[in-house]
Amino acid sequence: MAKALELLGLSKAFDGNRVLHLASLEIEWGEVHALLGENGAGKSTIMNIANGVYAADAGEIRVDGRKVDISGPSDATSLGLGMVHQHFKLVKRFSVAENILLSCRRQLSITSVGEAALAVAAKGAEVGFPVKPDAVVGELSIAEQQRVEILKVLLLGAKIVILDEPTAVLTEEESGSVLSFVRNLALHGHAVVLITHKLREVIGYSDRVTVMRYGKTVLKGATANEQTAESLAMHMVGEHMPEIKPLKRQPGEERLVVERLSVSCLNGGVGVNQVNLSVRSGEILGIAGVGGNGQQELMDCLTGLRACSEGIIRLNGRNVTFASVAIRRNGGLRAIPSDRFGSGLVGNMPVFENLGMTRTTSGHYGRGIFFSRARMRQEAEKALAEYGILGATPITPTRLLSGGNAQKLLLARELEEGASILVAHSPTRGLDVRACNAVHTTIRDAVERGAACLLISEDLEEILGLSTRVAVMSHGRIVGEFSVGEATREVIGKLMLGHA
Amino acid sequence: MLENVVLTRRHYVPWRLRVRNFTGGIASGLVIAFAILVAAGVSPGAIVNEFIVQVFLNSRGLAQTVTTATPLIMVGLGAAAALKLRFWNIGVGGQVWLGALGSTWIAINDIGPPEMRLPLMLAVSVVAGSAWIAIPVFFKLRYGVNEIIMTLLLEYIAFRLVQHLVFGPWQDPNTSFPVSEHLDSIERLGRLGWGNAHSGIWIALGAGVLMWLLMERSRFGYYAEAIGLNPVTAKGTGLPVTLTIVLAVLLSGGLAGLAGGTIVAGAEYRLTQFLGQGYTFSAIVIAFIARFRPIPIVITAFVIAGIFTAGETLKVFYSLSEAIVILIESVILFSVLVSEFFSSFRIRVLKTAPAK
């Protein structure tokens, strides 16, 4: 039997930067094939070539054994290829049926919303993945929107389904559901490509795995259950990652104390409700929880960007409940926001101006009207070396940095002298293994030197791997607190979903 | 069609490229303007004479360009100071009117000792312009009122206020025209003895240098840059966001007011019915073309003043309609703005079309 999809010796360069070099991938019918690799390894590029979004500079594509030319997404569709992107291509204000009508009217030869509704309902029932055809897409949960996107691809006649990091935006429970659905698709003869960087998904849900690194295929079509997390990580990164050492330091004095803190929320979110927290020097308190359960409000209230409606915040013993951002920073409070380019860095400023931002207000570069950019640049040079920010100079525009480098830059700025408590929100979101490791090591080292850290994250691995204590947040409340030894995935998972 | 043409956003835009595209934009605008004028019946030789010789090579034309550029530099700098911080001041003309009104008030009431009269007039024009923009900045920061609407409408109010004064209490008793009394000689900015050019140009250039120091060398300018590019980050890193916005916006109004003051004291010698008109549009165009940077603003203001001068001479000597003059000015400005596109993007033509 011919293979479903063969990508042979593909090469591609953008603006002279080689992103794919003779990369290959072979997918069989009826299998879930995991495509694993760090950010920038070329996973998305190779699948975008298969999907006709980019044209390869060299190489060949075979679908079901036949050599094909794919010059656009519509060619890919007619060959039975369909891709579910990370960012859904749905009109949020339209209903499910209207979206289906919009994208599939030609393939299904339908002309009315009613017909579209029937088609999507029938397909949903057929594959055991029901959706409500008249629901407005914008009002559906992310997981439900993803279902619509998957059904759309199936309605377009896709036999080879490519999913780009489908679980990146889902909770544990939802991830399980979509992954078993994917297995089911393969069982019915589809070929499924699962782009991911989560090792557990590879071992638990895939038949075979291909690993890419720096635009090349380094492991091709290996049987997934013969792999271990270590062997896969080794292939992905090309070296062994140092383990994060457990903290040696004993907890010291209280750095951050939060009592009965409540934050009201204007936009229909849950806000923060009567939260009590205490973080000591030498401690990392992890706040686990599904996104949107008050974490952002808690973070903004601690850093001073949002006022609380009730409660007290103490920083190193000092009441800062009503203090400005600047006063809190001077008191040692530093923050790593979840959206590093949106609220941590200024993308259109050079690296050194981002690094020196907080020190300019403190007068470090001059107290008068003018300040010394030259000195700022020299210090940036040092910080770049110290934090291992490779490939950037002080004058590089910050927006050109990779996610990992941007995060290291943010850490370098926030951990400058006087940092005694670090509030970090999803500090490794979207980062590759290597950068993740570097960020965790940096945070750990800062805590080992005597800082305290409040780590807010939706990634349970990160919470369990780094924290000394774990608190679980649900509906704006702290619903459980554990020392790291007694916390299990199951208990925390249930608390996160409010089932306990 | 155009399938193998690819646009890529440039990561760096070298300044040489920017200068090249800017001059290229003006040149192509002039070529189109040339075609329009020929079609309108002006002989090609005369156009070259008007545009190149009369405006830039002839002393009288150059003097006229410098005179026109004087307020344009100040309103351009003023517009940029607010726009850079995303405070959309689109009522620059209103602040110009208030500046003109303030300096006239000092002059016709003979307030202050004679030797201090002129500095006082200019100082009051700055204060009046700032005060006029203080209204929208207060309402924006305190109540979240949209500054675009407020600055725009306040310009109409300022215009009506001036009309009221020149038709009413401030009307020159010696004439029936809607103008104020002539300024005394001590209340006038000195002429340079070169056309109508007056010492206001030194004030404008001085403002350019000061704004350069302030926006590109000082801590204030650095904060302004960060706040304009990403206000959320600026707030989160503890920069004095509100203070910086307030100061920059007051500065914006003050510079526009100063422009109004110098028009009264240097060019018109009295408050007239239309002296502040059209400055909002020019100020915003200048600020955007120069990307809010002071030195390029000064240069751009001169270029635009040149275009205006040429338009005026064409109107007078070739009896072209106002519409044609506005049309060619717009074509040239439009070409300059379009040339920005070629700075931001690289256009590549692929040798082989994507495989079919």
> pLDDT digits over A423-458, tens only?
999 999 878 778 888 999 999 999 999 999 999 998
A29 falls within a domain: yes
Q: Where are the beta strands (DSSP E) in chain B?
A: 5-9, 345-349
- Residue from the list B218, B229, B240 with its beta carbon closest to the beta carbon of A346: B229
Are A262 and A313 in a shared domain? yes
- B141 with B189, same domain: the answer is yes
Mean pLDDT of A301-308: 93
Cβ-defined contact of B229 to A349 (cutoff 8 Å): yes
Please tell me whether residues A276 and A179 are part of one structural domain. Answer: no
Q: Is residue A425, in this structure, part of any structural domain at all?
A: yes
Token pair for A16: 């002279």
Question: Any CB–CB contact under 8 A between A353 and chain B?
Answer: yes
In-domain check, residue A441 = yes
Residues 464-483 of A with CB under 8 A from B: none
Band of pLDDT at residue B237, cut at 50, 70 and 90: very high
Of B8, B11, B222, the CB nearest to A360: B222
> Domain check: are A462 and A433 in the same one?
yes
Q: Do B222 and A358 touch (CB under 8 A)?
A: no
* B32 & B162 share domain: no
Examine residue B73 and state whether it is found in any structural domain, yes or no.
Answer: yes
pTM for this model (two decimals): 0.80
Band (A234; pLDDT cuts 50, 70, 90): confident
Q: Do A277 and A318 belong together in one domain?
A: yes
Contact A325 B238 (CB under 8 A): yes
Q: Evaluate if residue B151 carries a pLDDT over 80.
A: yes
Q: Is A305 on the interface with B (CB under 8 A)?
A: yes
Residues of the domain holding A354: 254-497
Domain interval for residue B25? 14-42+322-350
Give chain A positions within 8 Å (CB) of B352: none
**Structure confidence by residue, pLDDT tens digits, B34-85:** 899 888 888 888 887 777 777 777 888 889 999 999 999 999 999 999 999 9
Are B119 and B29 contained in the same domain? no
Q: Chain B residues with CB inside 8 Å of A50's CB?
A: none
Pick from A324, A328, A342: CB nearest B232: A342
Q: CA A346 from chain center: how many Å?
A: 20
Over range B124-145, report the average pLDDT: 97
Residue A17 at interface with chain B, using a CB cutoff of 8 Å: no
Domain identity same for B229 and B282: yes
Residue A337 touches chain B, beta carbons under 8 Å: yes
Q: Is residue B110 part of a domain?
A: yes
Would you state the pLDDT for residue B286?
A: 92
pLDDT band at A1 (very low <50, low <70, confident <90, very high): confident
**Would you state the pLDDT for residue A269?**
66
Interface probe for B, chosen from A51, A53, A346 (most Cβ of B below 10 Å), is: A346
pLDDT tens, position by position, B74-103: 999 999 999 999 999 999 999 999 999 999
* Cβ contact B240–A371 (<8 Å): no
User: Is position B201 within any domain?
Assistant: yes
In chain A, whose CA is at the least distance from the CA of B215?
A: A370
- Residues A409 and A389: beta-carbon distance below 8 Å: yes
CB B60 within 8 A of CB B81: no
Question: pLDDT averaged over chain A?
Answer: 88
Residue A266 reports pLDDT greater than 80: no
* Chain A residue with the nearest C-alpha to that of B348: A15
Does residue A348 belong to the interface with chain B, where contact is any CB pair within 8 Å?
yes
Number of domains, chain B: 2
**B219 and B87 part of one domain:** yes
Report which listed range, A134-138, B93-97, B275-279, B341-345, is most confident.
B93-97
Size of interface A-B (CB pairs under 8 A): 74
Task: Verify whether the Cβ–Cβ distance B217 to A357 is below 8 Å.
Answer: no
- Does residue B337 lie in a domain region? yes
In a domain, A249, yes or no: no
Residue contact B219–A371, C-beta within 8 A: yes
Residue among A345, A347, A361 minimizing CB distance to B239: A361
pLDDT tens readout for residues B252-279: 999 999 999 999 999 999 999 999 888 9
> Could A303 and B236 be called an inter-chain contact, meaning their C-beta atoms sit closer than 8 Å?
yes
Residues B143 and B32 in one domain: no
Same structural domain for residues B220 and B137?
Answer: yes
Domain final position from A237, A263, A293: A237
pLDDT of res. B12: 72
Q: Would you say residue A162 lies in a domain?
A: yes
Tell me the mean pLDDT in the region A65-88.
88
CA angle B232, B233, B237 (to 5 degrees): 120
Nearest to A69 among B222, B236, B355 (CB): B355
Residue of chain B nearest A374, judged by CA positions: B217
A135, A260: one domain: no
Same domain, A402 and A265: yes
Looking at the structure, tell me whether residues A470 and A411 fall in a common domain. yes
Are B23 and B150 members of one domain? no
A397 shares contact with chain B (CB less than 8 Å): yes
Backbone angles phi, psi at A159, to 5 degrees: -105, -25
Determine the Cα angle at A96 with ends A94 and A102, to 5°. Answer: 70
CA–CA min distance B108, chain A (Å): 38
- Whether A343 sits inside 8 A of B233 (CB atoms) is yes
User: What crossing angle do the helices spanning A113-127 and A142-155 adopt, rounded to 10°?
Assistant: 100
In a shared domain, residues B98 and B177 = yes
* In a shared domain, residues B96 and B33: no
**Residue B291 pLDDT > 50, yes or no?**
yes
pLDDT at A43 over 80: yes
Of B233, B236, B238, the CB nearest to A361: B238
Residue B286 inside a domain? The answer is: yes
Say if the Cβ atoms of B235 and A345 lie within 8 Å: no
Residue A301 domain flag? yes
* DSSP-based three-state secondary structure for A20: strand
Q: How many domains does chain A have?
A: 2
A224 in the same domain as A328: no
Report CA-CA distances (Å) from B349 to B6, B339, B354.
6, 19, 11
The rounded distance, in Å, linking the Cα atoms of A102 and A111 is: 9
B197 and B272 both lie in a single domain:
yes
Task: State whether A15 and A154 are in the same domain.
Answer: yes
Residue B36 falls within a domain, yes or no?
A: yes
Cα–Cα distance, B300 to B247 (Å, whole number): 25
Question: Do A229 and A305 reside in the same domain of the chain?
Answer: no
CATH number at residue A131: 3.40.50.300
Tokens of B263: 């028009």
- Is A221 part of a structural domain of the chain? yes
Are A224 and A260 part of one and the same domain? no
Based on the domain organization, do B100 and B26 belong to the same domain? no
Q: Choose the closest CB to A344 out of B220, B236, B356.
A: B236
pLDDT in tens, A194-233: 998 778 888 888 999 999 988 889 888 888 788 888 888 8
Q: What is the pLDDT of residue B243?
A: 96
| Domain end point (choices A237, A268, A295) | A237
Q: Which one of A330, A333, A369, A409 would you mutate to disrupt binding with B, by most B Cβ within 10 Å of its Cβ?
A: A369
**Greater pLDDT, A488 or B251:** B251
The kind and range of the H/E element at A50 are helix A43-50
Sequential DSSP letters for B256-294: HHHHHHHIIIIIISS--SSTTTTHHHHHHHHHHHTTT-H
Residues in chain A, how many?
500
* d(C-alpha A121, C-alpha A256), whole Å: 52
The residue that leads in pLDDT, A244 or B101, is B101
Q: Is residue B4 in a domain?
A: no
A330 and A477 both lie in a single domain:
yes
Do the domain assignments include residue B25?
yes
Would you say residue A245 lies in a domain?
A: no
Cβ separation of A370 and B218 shorter than 8 Å? yes
| ipTM above threshold 0.90 | no
